[in-house]
Structure 1
Amino acid sequence: MEEGIIFSEKQRFRQWWLWLILFVLNGVFLNGAFKQIFEGKQFGDQPMSNTALLISVFVLLLITFLFVILRLETRINNNGVYVRFYPFHLSFRYFPWESINLAKVRKYSPIMEFGGWGIRFGLITKGRALNVSGNQGLQLEFNNYQKLLIGTHKPEELKQALHILGKDQE
């Protein structure tokens, strides 16, 4: 797969508001757990048990760690398109050019078409999406009429790669 890569991109969740929410929630819960467990002061008007509080802190830290390691990787070469949404896809998903009817870069509405970002399933006609932010993506339509949209922060480079491969259909 590494041979002849024409386009490569790694994306992460970088929305400032997402990190602010996670930072505030972690701060509140860690502070509350410290006060309740080590100082003996109740956290809130109706405090959780120490066990439930520790489990909440652990789950929140786990979610934060997941967002830290999440990444969408896309590679394109003469053979086809390779994509993975780590850590959900440990290896790349390979889509050979022979199985792709249409490959084009397009603007889309993440909320309206797919309900947000991540590994998304849109309406029946929209297909699936893999995205982390933004509103630009590589739309793939397969021979079996299924669709996959892969988000990108490099739409112009992606268009150029498709042009080099002779796959641009604009």
Structure 2
Amino acid sequence: MKVFYEEQKFNQSLVYLGLSISLIVVIFAILSQWKKNVDNSFGDYIAAFIGLFILILVIILFLVLKLQTKIDENGIKFKFYPFQVSYKNIDWSNISECYIRNYNPISEFGGWGIKSSFRRDTGKAYTIKGSIGLQLKLKNGKKILIGTQKNEEIKRVIETYKHKYTHNDT
């Protein structure tokens, strides 16, 4: 039995550079405002700390976000943690087509993450980075794209299980 597993995280340096700069700017703004106006109202302090708290939550979210993909003899499973805590399972019997393709995250889906396209023919995407994904066309007409950084590995595993999704419909 051949099994594929991949875990992707938002580990692009530009993402964390942007978040770090945002954090520094917010902290600097809070400190400079604090020094200027000693007699700020309690509401001003609360608003500043709420902004800082939200920014810290966004940073934590980027640290824990991950896309996990498993492919085995039963089918394809994936989850986009923490938005999906359990795997979404797609049995081989529900797949009509399955292949690796290049895609444009911005023009096709509006970026990375869990995205649905405005174009009906594109479907839904679960991506973290890059522009290569596993395209699934389901027998019910839905399309799902799962981003990958291990396209050659996935190709080999998909080829192993090709007989499970290319058999004749009953």
Shared fold by TM > 0.5? Answer: yes
Identity %: 36
| Counterpart code for 1:25 | S
Q: Which blocks of at least 5 consecutive residues in structure 1 are unaligned? A: 43-47
Trace 1:14-163 onto structure 2 (pairs within 5 A).
Answer: 14-37=11-34, 40-41=35-36, 49-122=44-117, 123-163=119-159
Q: Which blocks of at least 5 consecutive residues in structure 2 are unaligned? A: 38-42
Alpha carbons of 1:5 and 1:84: their partners in 2 closer, same or farther (altered >3 Å)? farther
Asked whether the equivalents of residues 139 and 150 of structure 1 are also in contact (C-alpha less than 8 Å), the reply is yes
- Secondary structure of the structure 1 residue equivalent to 2:111: coil
Asked whether the equivalents of residues 2 and 157 of structure 2 are also in contact (C-alpha less than 8 Å), the reply is no
Q: How many residues align?
A: 159
Asked whether the equivalents of residues 69 and 87 of structure 1 are also in contact (C-alpha less than 8 Å), the reply is yes
- Secondary structure of the structure 2 residue equivalent to 1:14: coil
Asked whether the equivalents of residues 5 and 75 of structure 1 are also in contact (C-alpha less than 8 Å), the reply is no
- Secondary structure of the structure 1 residue equivalent to 2:122: coil
Query: How many angstroms apart in 1 are the aligned matches of 2:123 and 2:115?
Result: 9
Asked whether the equivalents of residues 2 and 160 of structure 2 are also in contact (C-alpha less than 8 Å), the reply is no
Shift of 1:36: 3.8
CA RMSD of aligned residues (A): 1.8
Query: How many angstroms apart in 1 are the aligned matches of 2:106 and 2:29?
Result: 34
Query: How many angstroms apart in 2 are the aligned matches of 1:98 and 1:152?
Result: 22
Post-superposition CA distance 1:83-130 (Å, at most 9, x none): 000000000000000111011011111111111000000121100000
Query: How many angstroms apart in 2 are the aligned matches of 1:12 and 1:119?
Result: 13
Asked whether the equivalents of residues 126 and 147 of structure 2 are also in contact (C-alpha less than 8 Å), the reply is yes
Trace 1:1-20 onto structure 2 (pairs within 5 A).
Answer: 4=1, 6-20=3-17
- Secondary structure of the structure 2 residue equivalent to 1:20: helix
